Amino acid sequence: MLSYRHSFHAGNFADVLKHLVEVAILEYLKKKPKPFCYHDSHAAVGLYRLDSETAQKTGEYEGGIGKLLGHQPQSPVLQRYLQLIAQLNPDGVLTYYPGSPVIARELLRSDDSIQATELHPADFPLLQQQFAGRRHTRIEKMDAYAGFKAMLPPLHKRGLVLIDPPYELKTEYQDLLKGVQSAYQRFPQATYAIWYPVIERASIEAVLDALVATGIRNQLRIELCVAPDSDGFGMTGSGMLVINPPYTLADEMQQLLAEITPLLSATGFYQIEQRVPE
Ligand SMILES: C[S@@+](CC[C@H](N)C(=O)[O-])C[C@H]1O[C@@H](n2cnc3c(N)ncnc32)[C@H](O)[C@@H]1O
């Protein structure tokens, strides 16, 4: 069952947090001259038109990237992210919003490699088009977790694995836990960034606790909520659980979230928590 289409949600507050964390990690990995690998397990299409029927139908981007337009960024990570969006919209009108694989395509150096998997039959060819002609790139129409077995570890033994499931089915949390462990066994040096929604607090804490129980060291939670926790009638926030984060990430995110949370919501709050030490 693949009914989820990210084009309804592109640029929303959850994308903003996810993509800022992605930018921060990729910029850190670029500090060393040695090439690295970016692996995107649930890549979707890569680039979105915010004037499309789907994006306009929900208008979700207005509560995300829409709230950051015109803001003079202080945080270097926010500056880099907004600069990237400005590059995709050279006429100054917010029309295009980049998905996670296109953010990597724009930030990576030509020797860095990109791997991505996407299952949706309509989204996969659109994703492929975004990478036509790029060297060191492997885009597969494949299940995310089969992709870990087939494609990890990559040639370069450094990198970021971004895991961003749609969580349409309850079983996806179990798949995630198994998938993370299988990827980590193959590629323990990588940084892993796992996106999660906050819909019902106790349920998501149970998933994060199960990740702690895997025994994987060095887990950092970065979470941004735009409304108080509720009883599960919609997403009030989202987070990134980062395994092996760059040592600079917690401080960078502290500065960044203090800056953007009030822009996104008057009742917003955030938390940064080292859940498992190194
Ligand atoms: C939340 S979207 C990804 C958005 C993207 N990471 C971004 O930030 O731009 C989730 C994507 O996962 C795809 N998907 C769902 N189940 C999958 C699976 N088992 N393997 C690979 N892709 C899957 C969906 O078709 C959807 O495009």
Does a structural domain hold residue 213? yes
Which atom in ligand 1 lies closest to the alpha carbon of residue 48?
A: 9
Q: Which of 164, 175, 209, 229 is catalytic?
A: 164
Measured CA to CA, the distance from residue 259 to residue 184 in angstroms comes to 33
pLDDT at 1 over 80: no
The answer to whether 164 is a known catalytic residue is yes
Residue bearing the CA closest to ligand 1, atom 27: 44
pLDDT of residue 48: 97
pLDDT at 183 over 90: yes
Does a structural domain hold residue 119? yes
pLDDT at 17 over 70: yes
pLDDT of residue 231: 82
CB of 144 shorter than 6 A to ligand 1? yes
pTM of the model: 0.98
Q: Which two tokens stand for residue 218?
A: 């060095």
Does a structural domain hold residue 231? yes
Across the range 81-101, mean pLDDT stands at: 97
Across the range 95-106, mean pLDDT stands at: 98
Extract the runs of DSSP E, i.e. beta strands, from the chain: 37-40, 47-49, 96-98, 113-117, 137-140, 159-163, 191-198, 219-225, 237-243, 269-276
Chain-wide mean pLDDT for the chain? 96
Does a structural domain hold residue 162? yes
Q: Which two tokens stand for residue 168?
A: 């349409």
pLDDT of residue 14: 98
Does a structural domain hold residue 1? no
Measured CA to CA, the distance from residue 228 to residue 230 in angstroms comes to 6
What total number of domains does the chain contain?
1
Q: pLDDT of 60-87, one tens digit each? A: 999 999 999 999 999 999 999 999 999 9
For ligand 1, the distance from its centroid to the CA atom of residue 277, given in whole angstroms, is 29
What is the span of the domain harbouring residue 37? Answer: 6-276
Measured CA to CA, the distance from residue 53 to residue 49 in angstroms comes to 9
For ligand 1, the distance from its centroid to the CA atom of residue 166, given in whole angstroms, is 6
CB of 105 shorter than 6 A to ligand 1? no
- Looking at residue 148, which CATH number applies to its domain? 3.40.50.150
pLDDT at 256 over 90: yes
CB of 24 shorter than 6 A to ligand 1? no
pLDDT band at 51 (very low <50, low <70, confident <90, very high): very high
Measured CA to CA, the distance from residue 263 to residue 167 in angstroms comes to 27
For ligand 1, the distance from its centroid to the CA atom of residue 240, given in whole angstroms, is 16
pLDDT of residue 2: 78
Does a structural domain hold residue 121? yes
CB of 6 shorter than 6 A to ligand 1? yes
The region, left, alpha or beta by phi > 0 then psi within -120 to 50, assigned to residue 277 is beta
pLDDT at 13 over 90: yes
State what percent of residues in the chain have pLDDT above 90. 94
pLDDT band at 3 (very low <50, low <70, confident <90, very high): confident
pLDDT of residue 169: 87
- 78-81 — which CB contacts under 8 Å span 24+ positions? 78/20, 78/256, 78/259, 78/260, 80/23, 80/27, 80/107, 81/19, 81/20, 81/23
Measured CA to CA, the distance from residue 267 to residue 141 in angstroms comes to 40
Does a structural domain hold residue 175? yes
Does a structural domain hold residue 218? yes
